[in-house]
Structure 1
């Protein structure tokens, strides 16, 4: 039996993962009949005494984490007047409070804004103004970055694990929780199609856009991974994750990404898996945690999983408990795929294609299928449809290249307050991904390039237009063209070619960009010239020629 046939059986009438037709954002799509209606229901259904969150020496059961989330929810309602539909930001590293505040926000019908923890002051100011956040839960570094604007904007701050003396108007969440008596989650009427999250993603031009997703879309993504796993077990006859100890996943990626939020954290409630948060990725510490906690799952971009494979080879670490290693976000070299399968004992490599706009799902491929098709991104999830179209919008047959479109039950509602971007991005229910791709006769997707001006650096989407705009703030930069430069470890790095009217020192230019861009958006390769950049017939910058002249 092939995977597509098994998936059809798993999602058939009467099955646990039965699919039904529902209305969502004005379109008919597929959703899971037996799914929790909201994220709040998902959290409540997972309350148990099993270990849930591990962070360094701290451990919280599912019940303990839920009780703390309920207290945070009561604090938001009673002390900050947070109501259904209000935006509340989560801006911190991977602390346990990230999960607890997120679950509190979404349980009371507010919209959780997952803030990129690498954003600098200007980016934070833009994001908070754009979404209209009333409240932000922030660690010390984010509090420091918000200080220049939060009073003027009216944004309230609550501190997470502060390391400096706090102003009188910024309370410590730990103190608020200690004084809160109710551990009962406030009851708010929430519908499946209500907005639940805003995650900012870099587009091809201008500022990051807020991707708005509903409770149903997120839960459809989570249950699609479950359905895929059941289908794969039906095909192979083996349950890869049937082990004699609690299933554990290591979260080595930021929780503000859909990969960290959805596939790592939110996927743990129904599977009752131990979820180990790392402040940030450190390969030696990660390998140590895998051994100590008997970690079975590690899902991260190729640059991170590549670190782990290399470290395991060099250090002799025993990573034999790992059963699945992989994840999407960027292409994984075929050699790394083979090494995951060969070097890490019982480990099955996996990957997939997905976007913030699809709530991380899209296509996936695991194990032998992946080894045989190392350049493929896999087969489509049960709640989604994919298609490839040409410039005229005509849907193309197998193996013909064009732009990848996607539609279905895990799709975002649209971009926050960006009607022009929504009009540009959708044709009916079909979303234009900006990826160049083809689909083979068996339904396997192959991404071959990008149509939009995006650079994917270590799993981080970086809009070329955003970086160019920051460069053009400099008085001596007349034109700027930003592009991808191949990189063995990160997949891609940023290059920039600049038309300048004065001699600029590269170090000074990087200092100029520091307060304007997160560090990963600052170009690694900078080329400056005293002549205008080449143009195409329409008058636009000739990006292909600029890249070639830059040595790419």
Structure 2
């Protein structure tokens, strides 16, 4: 593959010049307008002194300006290094210190933090993101593209979800991104034909930036909102004939809970894709009643976000499974010695495919630990059946070892989530004098629950050693990471002393 993302997106600027490329709640831009705006902004960045390989950070929430800046940086040969807009000053400073960007472009709400970072690193240019608006109707210079920009040129550094402390920076190149997009196009040709997708994820994550770029390469339209509102999302689906909905289950649960869900016209949707958490039977049935089937996916930022999607036929029969890989991507499991596991035997999920990252930014040691013999070691526990279909069981680090017995937090969560009144649940390890650690459940139950009845329910469906010994019932939702997943690191902090502050329930 000798082309670049720039080549593909510029091609659509001619072929679909007057068709919509990006739509937000306040604005919209066609492919032709996006092309000239991004080229003019690229000229501006080069005039400011941006050189090939320089990092450019965007510290802002989703916006049209964010999208255009990402295109301008790419065309200038820079390396986009976005910063999560939800980060505190300390977190943002840590990430910026690792990326060492030439510029930070910020929105109004992050001005104070951006200026503070600039004061500690005087070499960084601190500029408002809305400066790019000045070039919306400017005429580009028409200069030829830098010949040094090729398939293996790094495009972006995407932070991991942060489930293991400070996020690592995952580097994608033109080749890895185009390879991933080609893989999905082969696996789901109908879904990616002139697609219209709602982007729920922050642009600083693979669920945001990767999906945006994917849609632009396909010649589709990416729709953004300032924040997720289920009623607005349903209206957007009906009004703009959205063809792809993808996200973590909580987004779809909130849409189902809307009064307008039953009457919304969903006939335009070709793909309903979910990942990052288990899809409940109730949620599956709610969407199936509207004629749509959830396709469970599995992936991680290091693999382009999505490495496998359950085909529709298998999604009907085996909704909890995640498919057998993609046409160009292989999925397997290995044991502790690195040997491939036979069907039915759990092991660490490994991935080999075109979308696998180049590596972690400035971290060769961590890269070498996860990229081994051409396979990405995910750190997730899974099992393949006799047909090669993957079931993701748990993150290996989320295995609770109690008295020498391994307990899957996901398994316990599945059982608790089926108890009436439980809206959200996360199971983590609590300290235990006898067993070392023991399961503890943090539960969001707005109407309250009877804990003795919950424990009886767990005892009915789980082995004794898997049943939680501590329960914290909350009247507010569980904390979440930027990508929408429940933040277990935050819960571990909040309940670090659960063995001292919570009564044992059994």
TM-score normalised over the length of structure 1: 0.71
1:61 aligns with 2:30: yes
TM-superposed deviation, 1:123:
1.0
Cα pair 1:37 1:192 within 8 Å, conserved: yes
* Matched position secondary structure for 1:338: helix
Cα pair 2:324 2:331 within 8 Å, conserved: no
Structure 1 CA distance, aligned partners of 2:505 and 2:365?
A: 35
Matches within 5 A, 1:417-428: 417-428=362-373
Matches within 5 A, 1:318-329: 318-329=265-276
Q: Identify if the C-alpha distance between structure 1 residues 316 and 417 changes in structure 2 by more than 3 Å, giving closer, same or farther.
A: same
Q: Identify if the C-alpha distance between structure 1 residues 49 and 529 changes in structure 2 by more than 3 Å, giving closer, same or farther.
A: closer
- Residue 39 of structure 1 corresponds to 5
- Residue 142 of structure 2 corresponds to 184
List per-residue Cα deviations over 1:235-267 (Å, max 9, x = no partner). Answer: xxxx5677xxx742222222222122223x122
Return the match for 2:61 from 88, 93, 104: 93
TM-superposed deviation, 1:398:
1.3
Q: Which moved more, 1:421-430 or 1:88-97?
A: 421-430
1:109 aligns with 2:92: no
List per-residue Cα deviations over 1:15-51 (Å, max 9, x = no partner). Answer: xxxxxxxxxxxxxxxxxx5xx6212112112112111
TM-superposed deviation, 1:316:
3.1
Structure 2 CA distance, aligned partners of 1:272 and 1:77?
A: 27
Cα pair 2:381 2:395 within 8 Å, conserved: yes
Structure 2 CA distance, aligned partners of 1:203 and 1:99?
A: 23
1:368 aligns with 2:313: yes
Structure 2 CA distance, aligned partners of 1:368 and 1:551?
A: 43
1:311 aligns with 2:279: no
- Residue 387 of structure 1 corresponds to 332
State the Cα RMSD in Å. 3.3
Cα pair 2:346 2:382 within 8 Å, conserved: yes
Q: Identify if the C-alpha distance between structure 1 residues 103 and 438 changes in structure 2 by more than 3 Å, giving closer, same or farther.
A: same
- Residue 473 of structure 1 corresponds to none
RCO (CA 8 Å, sep 6+): is it higher in 1 or 2?
A: 1
- Residue 407 of structure 1 corresponds to 352
TM-superposed deviation, 1:430:
1.8
Cα pair 1:496 1:525 within 8 Å, conserved: no
Q: Identify if the C-alpha distance between structure 1 residues 279 and 149 changes in structure 2 by more than 3 Å, giving closer, same or farther.
A: same
TM-superposed deviation, 1:530:
10
List per-residue Cα deviations over 1:54-84 (Å, max 9, x = no partner). Answer: 11242210110111111111111012x1111
Question: Structure 2, unaligned stretches of length 5 or more?
Answer: 401-408, 433-478
* Matched position secondary structure for 1:412: coil
List per-residue Cα deviations over 1:504-529 (Å, max 9, x = no partner). Answer: xxxxxxxxx9xxxx996643983464
- Residue 268 of structure 1 corresponds to 215
Return the match for 1:226 from 185, 196, 219: 185
- Residue 120 of structure 1 corresponds to 88
Q: Identify if the C-alpha distance between structure 1 residues 203 and 395 changes in structure 2 by more than 3 Å, giving closer, same or farther.
A: farther
Return the match for 1:72 from 35, 38, 41: 41
TM-superposed deviation, 1:224:
0.9
List per-residue Cα deviations over 1:321-354 (Å, max 9, x = no partner). Answer: 32322232222223322322222x4x34222111
Question: Structure 1, unaligned stretches of length 5 or more?
Answer: 1-32, 162-171, 231-238, 456-482, 500-512, 534-545
Cα pair 2:191 2:244 within 8 Å, conserved: no
Q: Identify if the C-alpha distance between structure 1 residues 220 and 427 changes in structure 2 by more than 3 Å, giving closer, same or farther.
A: same
* Matched position secondary structure for 2:285: helix
Return the match for 2:173 from 214, 218, 243: 214
1:145 aligns with 2:131: no
Cα pair 1:135 1:155 within 8 Å, conserved: yes
Q: Identify if the C-alpha distance between structure 1 residues 404 and 240 changes in structure 2 by more than 3 Å, giving closer, same or farther.
A: closer
Cα pair 1:353 1:377 within 8 Å, conserved: yes
Cα pair 2:4 2:150 within 8 Å, conserved: yes
Q: Identify if the C-alpha distance between structure 1 residues 128 and 496 changes in structure 2 by more than 3 Å, giving closer, same or farther.
A: farther
Q: Identify if the C-alpha distance between structure 1 residues 416 and 492 changes in structure 2 by more than 3 Å, giving closer, same or farther.
A: farther
TM-superposed deviation, 1:85:
1.0
Cα pair 1:247 1:274 within 8 Å, conserved: yes
Q: Identify if the C-alpha distance between structure 1 residues 324 and 530 changes in structure 2 by more than 3 Å, giving closer, same or farther.
A: closer
* Matched position secondary structure for 1:337: helix
Structure 2 CA distance, aligned partners of 1:207 and 1:270?
A: 31
TM-score normalised over the length of structure 2: 0.77
Cα pair 2:106 2:114 within 8 Å, conserved: no
- Residue 467 of structure 2 corresponds to none
Return the match for 2:229 from 253, 266, 282: 282
Structure 2 CA distance, aligned partners of 1:299 and 1:135?
A: 32
State the aligned residue count. 435
1:396 aligns with 2:341: yes
* Matched position secondary structure for 1:435: strand
Cα pair 2:293 2:315 within 8 Å, conserved: no
Cα pair 1:54 1:274 within 8 Å, conserved: yes
- Residue 539 of structure 1 corresponds to none
